Structure 1
Amino acid sequence: MILTAIVICEVAFWLAIIAGLSARYLFRRPGLGTALLIVAPVIDVILLALVTFDLLGGGTASWQHGLAAIYIGISVAYGKRMVAWADARFKHRFADGPPPEKLTGLRYTLKCWRDVLTTAAAVTVAAVILGAIIALVDDPRRTEALSGYFSILGIIFAIDLVWAVSYTFWPKAPATLPPHYADTHAPQNRH
């Protein structure tokens, strides 16, 4: 049941974002768009309530409950940025906004380090949720599956940290144009 709830919540999260951005840019209804975008975090609260009620109602924790905690942590920490990412693309595609910027070099490296902080927030939120559920249920036999997720959270953080370190030493180079592109697309001098 929880796995189905996670899938439904993930789909509903993106549908709320798409509906909100469509209302904002396609139908020129910014107020409605904002209202629909506010629904996205409410979906996380619903998922958290479902997980909690399932376990307090006598359910035994499984990998799906741990996955729900990770999903909520990522959604809370990265949610605003995911919406901004989608918003920039919608604005470019449907409202003559500027194209989304592609970061390289130092700017990309700095973004990677900001991601480390955001991922730290995501794993902290997930760990707090896991710890709270374990404490609320107060039955180690029923919450045993959740204890293993603390190491998974550590692995998620470590992967993001290694990613940032790698781009610190080997920065992302800007895309280069093929040599023939410059010749065929350069402005012609017509004197």
Structure 2
Amino acid sequence: MITALIITCEILFWVVILLGLITRYVLRKEKAGLFLLALSPLLDLMLLIVTGFDLYRGATATPAHAIAAVYIGVSIAFGKSMIQWADERFQYYFLKQGAKPQKRYGYDYAKHYFTGWLRHALAYMIGASLLVGTIVWIDDSSKTEALYGILRIWLIVVAIDLLISISYFIWPRKTK
């Protein structure tokens, strides 16, 4: 059930974003479009409540429960930038307005990637807080073992992402 809910929330996130952009730019209803874009955090809240309720009812935590916390952390940390990314491309590719989204190279790309890493670190802190909070709340290590596993794996991923980020400062991405 939790896996299906995560997939549903991810699909609904992009549907809400697309509907918000269409409403905002095609239908010229800026406030309604903004309202639709603002619905994306409600999807996170719904996911958090259902996941917490499932664990509270006695379910043993699975990687899907942990991924719900990862999804929430990523959505909060990257949500605004993902919407901005979609907004820029929607305006350029579908409405033929605005500047073409530019590819980044060199130091500019390194700075941009490092900013992304900072967001990734923030996502980890949010998700890890939710996972640790859940572990403390459930207070049964046999039921929360999967949450610990995802915490460790995600920390390794964040560390690797930092190394990649640093590498772009040492070996800048070159223009083609």
Rg comparison, structure with higher value:
1
Deviation at 1:157, TM superposition (A): 0.6
Q: What is the DSSP-based 3-state SS (H/G/I as helix, E as strand, rest coil) of the residue aligned with 2:39?
A: helix
- TM-score in terms of structure 2 length: 0.96
Distance in structure 1 (CA, Å) of the matches to 2:43 and 2:145: 26
Q: Map Cα deviations across residues 92-116 of structure 1 (whole Å, 9 max, x no partner).
A: 1315111112111110011111112
Give 1:90's aligned residue. 90
Q: Map Cα deviations across residues 103-154 of structure 1 (whole Å, 9 max, x no partner).
A: 1111001111111211110111110010111111122221121111221121
Give 1:18's aligned residue. 18
Give 2:100's aligned residue. 99
What is the aligned length? 175
Segment drifting more, 96-105 vs 46-55: 96-105
| Alpha-carbon RMSD | 1.0
CA contact (8 A) 1:25 1:90 kept: no
Give 1:181's aligned residue. none
- Report sequence identity in percent: 40
- Is residue 2:69 matched to residue 1:69? yes
1:64/1:133 CA distance change after superposition, 3 Å: same
CA contact (8 A) 1:25 1:95 kept: no
Gaps of 5+ in 1: 176-191
Aligned ranges for residues 87-166 of structure 1 at < 5 Å?
Answer: 87-93=87-93, 94=95, 96-166=97-167
